[in-house]
Amino acid sequence: MSFGLMILLIFILGLGIWHSLKYQRILADRMEQVRIMESAFEHTALGMAIISPDFRFMKVNQAYADIVGYTRTEMLRMVPKDFVYPEDHEKDTPYTQEVFAGNIHSFTSLKRYVHKNGNILWIRATFSAVRNKSGNIKYFVAQIQDMTIAKKAEDELRKSRDDAEVLARTDYLTNTLNRRAFIERLKEELERTRRTQKGFAMILVDVDYFKKVNDHYGHLAGDYVLQQFAECLGNIIRAYDFIGRYGGEEFIICLPDTGIEQATMVAERMRESVEALEVDYLDSLIKVTGSFGVAAYDSHSSDTLDELIERADSAMYMAKHHKNTVYQWVS
């Protein structure tokens, strides 16, 4: 064998060994990457699963099994919808259709799951599509996170805010709107009237001789009378009417889409209902009456709200001097 041929053979052999070592390093690197991914898949706190295009579990980590309460073996015989609360079954359908159409790669949704023990869980789930070179879906990677505690805290916080807002708008004693909240609603009604060309009416009511009730029976009795008086008025109005405590023993009612004559009839029913009211307090029957004034506002009115209330107030004080009568003030 010539020296040149020997050199060539040694070079070819060395090149083969170099490629072999390079391949082994690449293979080792890839195996290490796989081990890292396997470890991350198994030990992450998120529930993770590999799901086939026909939505069957191919692989599930322990965190996913722990969240839903089933064993991994059981889950491999199930589909993701088996855990979803019935009313949320179709919640993801529009998104999965978009994924299959290739319009989106992944989506995240918040929905309810049913634990094996029957408890309802709030789950944030992310589905991501993995495609082959042809663009077809090979499988989905699903990640789920139990948001039940966070959702409950969020709901409680929202309820607390809502309750605080209601309290800020409600008269603590009579559970009607307070004066500020009533005026805000009244301003909204005024704007609606200007848009729709439909009017509204207002009734202003005062409990007659209320000071005598306080002086004779005490302030706690007076508070109870106001509560019963407000409830009596509230039983007459419609669902979309609204009532507020204007101050002291005065109440104010707004009747949307109502003219002066109809409002006067409503006020008369209120007057009769109050007249029939007997407040039972500590073995005493307390009788009260009320004075009612009515004013109306239509699309042609130019009054301000203060002027409208002043007209209802004037009608109410006229009623005080003419018992068993509701006084109206036409706009």
Q: Which of 163, 198, 213 is the last residue of a domain?
A: 163
Output the six-digit token pair for 115.
């634990």
Is the per-residue pLDDT at 109 higher than 70? yes
CB atoms within 10 A of CB 199: 21
Average pLDDT, the chain: 86
Is the per-residue pLDDT at 328 higher than 50? yes
Predicted local distance difference test score (pLDDT) of residue 25: 65
Predicted local distance difference test score (pLDDT) of residue 108: 93
The mean pLDDT value for 111-116 works out to 94
Q: Which residues pair with 144 in a beta bridge?
A: 47, 125
Predicted local distance difference test score (pLDDT) of residue 39: 58
Residue 325 and residue 191 in one domain: yes
Distance between CA atoms of 94 and 114, rounded to whole angstroms?
22
| Residues designated catalytic | 249
Which range of 19-33, 235-249, 288-302 scores highest in mean pLDDT? It is 235-249
Output the six-digit token pair for 33.
């990457």
CB atoms within 10 A of CB 298: 15
Output the six-digit token pair for 29.
């690197």
Residue 176 and residue 139 in one domain: no
Confidence grade of residue 71 (pLDDT, cut at 50, 70, 90): very high
The mean pLDDT value for 17-42 works out to 57
Output the six-digit token pair for 229.
């008086």
pLDDT above 70 as % of the chain: 85
The CATH number covering residue 68 comes to 3.30.450.20
Q: Which residue shows structure tokens 């409830």?
A: 231
Residue 175 and residue 222 in one domain: yes
Confidence grade of residue 230 (pLDDT, cut at 50, 70, 90): very high
Of 69-83, 91-105, 160-174, 315-329, where does mean pLDDT reach its minimum? 315-329
Residue 208 and residue 109 in one domain: no
Is the per-residue pLDDT at 220 higher than 50? yes
Residue 176 and residue 146 in one domain: no
Four-residue CA torsion sign, 53, 55, 58, 63: positive
3-class DSSP state of 329: strand
Residue 35 included in any domain = no
Predicted local distance difference test score (pLDDT) of residue 29: 53
Distance between CA atoms of 112 and 144, rounded to whole angstroms?
11
Residue range of the domain that includes 279: 170-329
Torsion from C-alpha of 38, 43, 46, 51, nearest 10 degrees? 30
Question: CA distances (Å), 325 to each of 102, 211, 258, 275, 292, in order?
Answer: 74, 21, 20, 12, 8
The mean pLDDT value for 292-306 works out to 86
| C-beta separation of 324 from 272 below 8 A | no
The mean pLDDT value for 70-91 works out to 92
The mean pLDDT value for 222-244 works out to 95
The mean pLDDT value for 60-78 works out to 92
Confidence grade of residue 331 (pLDDT, cut at 50, 70, 90): very low
DSSP per position, 263-302: HHHHHHHHHHHHHT-EEEETTEEEE--EEEEEEEE-TT--
Distance between CA atoms of 117 and 194, rounded to whole angstroms?
57
Residue 23 included in any domain = no
The mean pLDDT value for 213-223 works out to 93
**Number of structural domains in the chain:** 2
Residue 70 and residue 99 in one domain: yes
**Residues 119-136: pLDDT tens digits?**
999 999 999 999 988 889
Residue 187 and residue 77 in one domain: no
Q: Which residue shows structure tokens 């929202």?
A: 158
| C-beta separation of 299 from 194 below 8 A | yes
Is the per-residue pLDDT at 6 higher than 80? no
Predicted local distance difference test score (pLDDT) of residue 66: 92
Confidence grade of residue 112 (pLDDT, cut at 50, 70, 90): very high
Is the per-residue pLDDT at 26 higher than 60? no
pLDDT above 90 as % of the chain: 62
